[in-house]
Amino acid sequence: MNRLKGKLYLLCAFSLAGTSVVSARFVTEKLGNFTITAVSLIFALVFLVPLCSRQLIQYFTQMSFRNFRLLVLQALCGIFLFRMFLLSGLHNTSAGEAGILTGATPAITAILAIAILREPVSGRKLSGIICTVTGVLVIQGVMVPGSGLTLEHVGGNMLVLCAAACESAFNTFSRIFAVKASTQSTMPSNPISQTTIVSAIALILCLIPAAFEHAMKRLAAIGLLEWMALLWYGVFVTALAFICWYAGIKRCGAFTAAAFSGMMPFTSMLLSIILLGEKADWRQWIGGVLVIIGMILIGSKGLNTISSVNKNTKMTEKERVTE
């Protein structure tokens, strides 16, 4: 039952995260990247702080410096760098294509799980990684002669892939933090407090670069639609998605999270077609199918094996992380 709850939390987390590509599309042409991130984080904190004001101070004071450092890395990779690369990439590529390219996250997460968390690799997982990489190359037009992609378009796609890599790093750091927290009885897991602290750290990182983007002048010029997009980005894409993420990752392993991260391209591509009126060509569909197949191959066996590893010995996992 606990594993099922974890999977449902991850499903919700990545479905909400997939809306980031579309919601960002409404404001990328009118606001600077760091301004978008900073304002959305302010909305997130306004939503989060009242929910955990009593537990937040206690949770923070019980945290070791090493765990705090992991939260800083999560804020840096999962919010600051992820959004910087994603928002920059959206200037030169479509929301639908960017959404599909975030499907590289499962493969990158799987590679990091093998390299850092020492999780075992099988032929199925390796095939999934290769399939995902092939799908990304097809989307990029590398395997299609005369695809006609401009250098700017390819550059935009590469920035989105960098965002996917940052998301994968965030997934890995979060899993390490969850394992460490599970072995420390003095520091119970608190997804809302974790989300609040990570959001506050990311906001601090964004404030200085946002000041160079003429934030106040540009914010005064946007309309209701853009403000609603920023509100959605803060409350749903950041606050609720991260709460679900932290609640899910403490119950599931890295490969399980890698599998469910494939919901990001599903959600973003669907919404870009419905809300933005974008169309996917045959290259994007073929690449998207390959990415999805890779996601299934990576996650299908991992959904059971990682959970069984967690059940058998928590100490083994702890030793893997601390090595």
pTM of the model: 0.75
**146 φ/ψ angles, rounded to the nearest 5 degrees:** 70, 35
Q: What is the residue-level pLDDT of the chain in tens, covering all 323 positions?
A: 677 788 889 889 988 988 887 888 888 888 998 999 999 999 999 999 998 877 888 888 888 888 889 899 999 998 999 888 888 887 777 776 776 677 677 778 778 877 887 767 677 777 877 787 777 667 655 555 555 556 677 788 888 888 888 888 888 888 888 877 777 655 666 889 889 999 999 999 999 999 899 889 999 999 999 999 999 999 999 999 999 988 888 887 777 777 777 777 777 777 877 777 777 677 767 877 877 787 677 666 544 443 443 444 344 444 444 44
Looking at residue 280, its pLDDT comes to 65
Looking at residue 62, its pLDDT comes to 82
Looking at residue 265, its pLDDT comes to 72
Taking alpha carbons only, the member of 177, 196, 175 closest to residue 239 is 196
User: Residue 130 and residue 135: Cα distance in Å, rounded?
Assistant: 9
Question: What region, left, alpha or beta, does residue 280 occupy, with left being phi > 0 and alpha being psi -120 to 50 degrees?
Answer: beta
Cα separation values, 21 from 81, 83, 107, 182, 323, Å: 15, 10, 20, 33, 36
Looking at residue 310, its pLDDT comes to 44
Looking at residue 195, its pLDDT comes to 92
**Residue 1: both structure tokens together:** 């039952």
